C-alpha cells in the first residue's frame, strides 16, 4: 500500500552585510543511520542532517500558509512570501505504525526574512530541531542533505539572479 503525504516548506532568505543566507535546520534524525564498523581509530559521529524547514499541510490550510507557519515554528523567524519555487517528491517507508510506503510531495516557497531570531523556538520544537543557523545561500546546493532540497536552493539562487531587486528591500546589516 502506498499512502500520500503533502507538506510545505520555505527557503527563508536574508541579506546580511551584502551576502545572502538561508535559514537551515538540523532536524533530529528520525532514523539513526548505521555507522560502518571501523577497526581503526575512534568512530566518527554521523554528520548532522541539514535541511529546510517544512511540515505537514493542515486541513484547510493553503500550502504557502503552512510554509510560513512551519518556518516560524521550526526556526523562530517570521518571513514574507515572495513566490513559489518548486515541488519535490520522494518515497520513504514509515518506520512506525503501519510501516506504509509513503509518496510525499513537498511544495517549497521563497520567503524573505522579516523579523525574529533564528533558533528562538519552543521547548517542544527543540525535540525535533536541534539547531538552526544562517547558511550562505551559495553553499546550500552542496550543504543540504537531500538532493531535492539542493535543487530547491538552486532555484532560489536562479530566482535571485533574475530578480536582483529583491535585495533592495532586504538591506540588513545586522545579525
Ligand atoms: P514533515 O517535516 O513534512 O512533517 P516528517 O519529519 O514526518 O515530515 P520527512 O522529513 O519527510 O518526515 O522524513 C521522512 C523520511 O523521509 C525520513 O527517512 C527522511 O530522512 C526522508 N526524507 C526527508 N526529506 C527527504 C527528501 N527531500 N528526499 C528524500 N528523503 C527525504
pLDDT tens profile 63-87: 999 999 999 999 999 999 999 999 9
**Residue 173's pLDDT band (cuts 50, 70, 90):** very low
Domains of the chain by start residue, with CATH: 2-29+48-169 (3.90.79.10)
Provide the whole-model pTM. Answer: 0.90
Query: In testing the pocket of ligand 1, which one of 104, 124, 147, 149 has its CB within 8 Å of the most ligand atoms?
Result: 104
169 has pLDDT over 80? no
Residue 124 backbone zone (phi > 0: left; psi -120 to 50: alpha; other: beta): alpha
Give pLDDT, residue 42: 67
> Tens of pLDDT along 108-151?
999 999 999 999 999 999 999 999 999 999 999 999 999 999 99
Complete DSSP assignment for 152-170: HHHHHHHHHHH-GGGGGG-
Tell whether ligand 1 has an atom less than 6 A from the beta carbon of residue 103.
no
Amino acid at each position: 500500500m502506498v499512502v500520500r503525504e503533502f507538506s510545505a516548506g520555505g527557503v527563508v532568505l536574508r541579506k546580511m552585510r551584502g551576502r545572502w543566507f538561508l535559514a537551515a535546520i538540523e532536524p533530529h534524525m528520525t532514523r539513526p543511520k548505521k555507522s560502518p564498523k571501523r577497526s581503526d581509530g575512534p568512530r566518527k559521529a554521523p554528520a548532522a542532517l541539514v535541511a529546510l524547514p517544512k511540515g505537514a499541510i493542515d486541513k484547510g490550510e493553503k500550502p504557502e500558509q503552512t510554509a510560513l507557519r512551519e518556518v516560524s515554528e521550526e526556526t523562530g523567524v517570521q518571513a514574507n512570501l515572495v513566490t513559489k519555487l518548486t515541488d519535490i517528491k520522494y518515497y520513504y517507508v514509515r518506520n512506525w505504525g503501519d510501516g506504509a510506503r509513503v509518496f510525499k510531495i513537498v511544495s517549497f516557497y521563497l520567503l524573505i526574512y522579516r523579523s525574529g531570531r533564528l533558533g528562538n523556538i519552543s521547548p517542544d520544537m527543540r525535540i525535533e530541531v536541534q539547531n538552526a543557523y544562517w547558511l550562505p545561500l551559495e553553499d546550500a546546493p552542496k550543504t543540504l542533505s537531500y538532493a531535492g532540497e539542493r535543487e530547491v536552493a538552486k532555484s532560489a539562487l536562479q530566482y535571485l539572479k533574475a530578480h536582483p531587486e529583491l535585495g533592495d528591500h532586504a538591506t540588513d546589516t545586522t545579525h
